[in-house]
Amino acid sequence: MTSIQAAEAEAGQPPALTIDALGKKCPIPIIMLAEQINYVPRNAIVSVLADDPAAFTDVPAWCRLKSHHHVASYELPDGGWAIHVRRNY
């Protein structure tokens, strides 16, 4: 089982949307997430792929600020993370 498959199993559902922010510096991953999170249904998972170390802490902080749920962050095999966010509203 890959780390992404394990993440999907833990979240209980596959991501409804994957945002590829690999190679982009913060705050671009957060801007991309903020622009696209409303395109998925409530309670859906958005996976943000990012390799900027700031995203690892900034995306969960953004979730707390905006009242969305940071499900978990999973290491990607080639570096970076898949940061899973559940849309709350």
pLDDT tens-digit series, residues 26-53: 999 999 999 999 999 999 999 999 999 9
Mean pLDDT of the chain: 92
In the residue annotation, 26 being an active-site residue is answered as yes
Average pLDDT rounded to a whole number, residues 2-19? 72
The whole-angstrom separation of Cα 66 and Cα 1 is 32
The whole-angstrom separation of Cα 76 and Cα 85 is 16
pLDDT at 10 over 70: no
The CA-based dihedral angle spanning residues 63, 84, 21, 17, taken in that order and rounded to the nearest 10 degrees: -110
The residue annotated as part of the active site, out of 26, 32, 44, 54, is 26
